[in-house]
Structure formats: structure tokens, C-alpha cells
């Protein structure tokens, strides 16, 4: 479990993380979402003891990172996949990490197998693809068999196969009862990977909820109906939770009813329909809406 308790980080006048209190539960994949600059990496760095909070604290299973006598066996992290000595082989890299933490050689072979690095373990890390580098970073994070995993943008820049692998691996680790906390700036990716989502915008928590309820709240369901009898249809479907909006002369957008309910009402009243289309706002659109006031660097469209 990871507990963030009024966690705050200021860099001079800039507040990167602004008083966040969140609990990240074991046995689940928790997605940490937010636009660039939202404060995700800074939060993860504070959990890992790499940045000191200005205020508040971050606890892993009840302790601060600095209090662990053997941190690698408590928490593994992938924070910057490129920060690896490039001249070494993957095997040598993992072996030296293991040696300095009293981890047996057999575990190095285990994590190499677990992350599918067998065929490249003897190759120099400098020649690794991004995907292989990510796998190596995850292998290093798994060396101490930690109960808590923190991965910063683990799918960034990966091909579809790599993305799928990270997704399945994260789910597998959570199913073993581990706490898995991973960041992304892509809602669609997180919706497929996470059980629970924490959305950050300008250092503040904008949402902290199970992925299902985020999806339900985020997606707008409406039905587009084309009919030569719009007034009649609007009267026929009228009800407390129903909203009818005119889009064009013979085109309505109706919320609060399913396409089937609208079709049946129209049939009952003899109203002719030319089109009946369920529409839903994409998840990515909903996420942009949620964070639009919180994007630090907005792309200006020049005309």
C-alpha cells in the first residue's frame, strides 16, 4: 500500500505537487494520469525518496522509503528507463545491482525469464530498443521481489506488442497481491490497464475512483435521431430524465433513453425515423475536458 498524506512539493515559487492525499491499494493496478507537467513524476520521486516533500509525506506499507533497511525488497521502481550504464550487458547490469543488494544470482535469471529478456541478456544495453530498455528497467525493479511497484510512463514510446506486454505484466503483478502504481498521460491506455485511476492536474487530485465509475461519468451517452417529425418525437419521448436537443431541422440529439427505447416509442406513435444512432463522447475527450484547465503548456494553434 502507498499512502500519500498531504504530499506537497514546491520548487521555488512553483508548486509541482499541491497537498495530495491518496491511498494506493494492494492487489490492484492504479493508474496515475495527468497531462505533462501535472506532477506525476515528482510524486513518484517523493515516494522513492529521491525528492524531499516540502510538506506532508509518502509512506510505503507504513514507512518512508529512507526507513527501509533493504529498499529493493520493499519497492521497485522504473523512473527513467534511459538512466542505465550503456556499455554493460543487461545481465551484467542486473548482476551488479543484485550483488550490491545481497540478492542471489538465481534471482537475476528469474527476472530475466520473467521479462522475456533471455535472448538479449548478453547484449550491451546501449544497443537496446526502447521496448527492451523498458523490460530491463522492469526486470531491475523486480529484482528484490518487492510488494510494491512504481512505473513512470512504462508504455511511453512502445510498439503495440510492448504496450500489451506491460499491460499484462502489470495485471499479473497485481493479481499476486502487489501494489502496482503506474503513470501515463493517456486515458485510453489506463482505462484498459488499471482497476483504479487517480487523475492529477497542476499538482492537484482531480479524480480518485475505480476505473468503471470514471468511465461511466466520463462517457456521455446520447442518441442521434433523424426524423421528418421532430416535434412529434420530442413530445413522445418527453420525460423527467430525458433531454432533447435540436441539432438541425430534422436531426435531434436525445439523452436519457436508449436507441431501443426511442425506436419503440416512435413505432408505437407511428413516427417515421430516418436514422437512430447511439453516440458516446470518447474517453479521451472526456479526460481532456476534465484536465483542460490544468494543462500547463497548451498548444496554441496559429492561424
Ligand X SMILES: Nc1ncnc2c1ncn2[C@@H]1O[C@H](COP(=O)(O)OP(=O)(O)OP(=O)(O)O)[C@@H](O)[C@H]1O
Instruction: Point out which residues bind ligand X (CB under 6 A).
Output: 11, 14, 16, 34, 36-42, 185, 296
Closest contact distance (angstroms) between CB of 36 and ligand X is 3
Q: What are phi and psi of 266, to 5 degrees?
A: -60, -45
Are residues 154 and 166 in contact, defined by beta-carbon separation less than 8 angstroms? Answer: yes
User: In angstroms, what is the minimal distance from the CB of 166 to ligand X?
Assistant: 16
Length of the chain: 303
The whole-angstrom separation of Cα 274 and Cα 260 is 14
Nearer to ligand X, 52 or 69 (CB): 52
Q: In this complex, which beta carbon is closest to ligand X, that of residue 147 or of residue 290?
A: 290
* φ/ψ (deg, to 5) at 271: -95, 130
Residue 42 or 227 with smaller CB distance to ligand X: 42
3-state secondary structure of 274: coil
| CA distance to 168, 248, 264, 285, per residue, from 280 (Å) | 27, 19, 21, 10
> What is the spatial distance between Cα 300 and Cα 169, in angstroms, rounded to a whole number?
38
Smallest gap, in angstroms, from Cβ of residue 11 to ligand X?
3
3-state secondary structure of 257: coil
For ligand X, the closer of residues 145 and 296 by Cβ is 296
Q: Smallest distance from the beta carbon of 73 to ligand X, in angstroms?
A: 26
CB-nearer residue toward ligand X: 117 or 190: 190
CB of 30 to ligand X, least distance (A): 15
Amino acid at each position: 500500500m502507498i499512502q500519500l498524506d498531504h504530499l506537497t512539493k514546491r520548487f521555488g515559487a512553483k508548486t509541482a505537487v499541491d497537498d495530495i492525499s491518496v491511498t494506493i491499494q494492494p492487489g490492484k493496478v492504479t493508474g496515475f494520469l495527468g497531462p505533462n507537467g501535472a506532477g506525476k513524476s515528482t510524486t513518484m520521486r517523493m515516494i522513492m525518496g529521491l525528492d524531499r516533500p516540502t510538506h506532508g509525506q509518502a509512506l510505503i506499507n507504513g514507512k518512508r522509503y529512507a526507513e527501509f533497511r533493504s529498499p529493493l525488497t520493499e519497492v521497485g521502481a522504473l523512473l527513467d528507463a534511459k538512466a542505465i550504464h550503456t556499455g554493460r550487458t543487461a545481465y551484467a547490469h542486473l548482476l551488479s545491482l543484485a550483488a550490491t543488494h545481497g540478492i542471489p544470482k538465481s534471482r537475476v535469471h528469474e527476472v530475466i525469464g520473467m521479462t522475456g529478456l533471455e535472448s538479449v541478456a548478453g547484449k550491451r544495453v546501449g544497443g537496446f530498443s526502447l521496448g527492451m530498455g523498458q523490460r530491463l528497467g522492469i526486470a531491475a525493479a523486480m529484482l528484490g521481489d518487492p510488494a510494491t511497484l512504481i512505473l513512470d510512463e512504462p508504455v511511453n514510446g512502445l510498439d503495440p506488442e510492448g504496450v500489451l506486454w506491460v499491460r499484462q505484466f502489470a495485471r499479473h503483478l497485481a493479481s499476486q497481491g502487489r501494489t502496482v502504481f503506474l503513470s501515463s498521460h493517456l486515458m485510453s491506455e489506463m482505462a484498459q490497464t488499471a482497476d483504479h485511476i487517480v487523475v492529477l492536474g497542476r499538482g492537484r487530485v482531480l479524480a480518485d475512483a475505480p476505473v468503471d465509475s470514471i468511465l461511466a461519468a466520463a462517457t456521455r451517452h446520447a442518441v442521434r435521431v433523424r426524423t421528418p417529425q421532430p416535434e412529434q418525437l420530442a413530445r413522445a419521448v418527453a420525460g423527467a430524465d430525458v433531454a432533447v436537443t435540436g441539432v438541425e431541422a430534422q436531426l435531434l440529439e436525445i439523452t436519457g433513453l436508449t436507441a431501443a427505447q426511442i425506436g419503440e416509442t416512435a413505432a408505437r406513435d407511428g413516427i417515421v425515423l430516418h436514422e437512430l444512432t447511439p453516440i458516446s463522447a470518447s474517453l479521451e475527450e472526456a479526460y481532456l475536458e476534465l484536465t483542460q484547465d490544468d494543462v500547463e503548456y497548451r498548444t496554441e494553434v496559429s492561424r
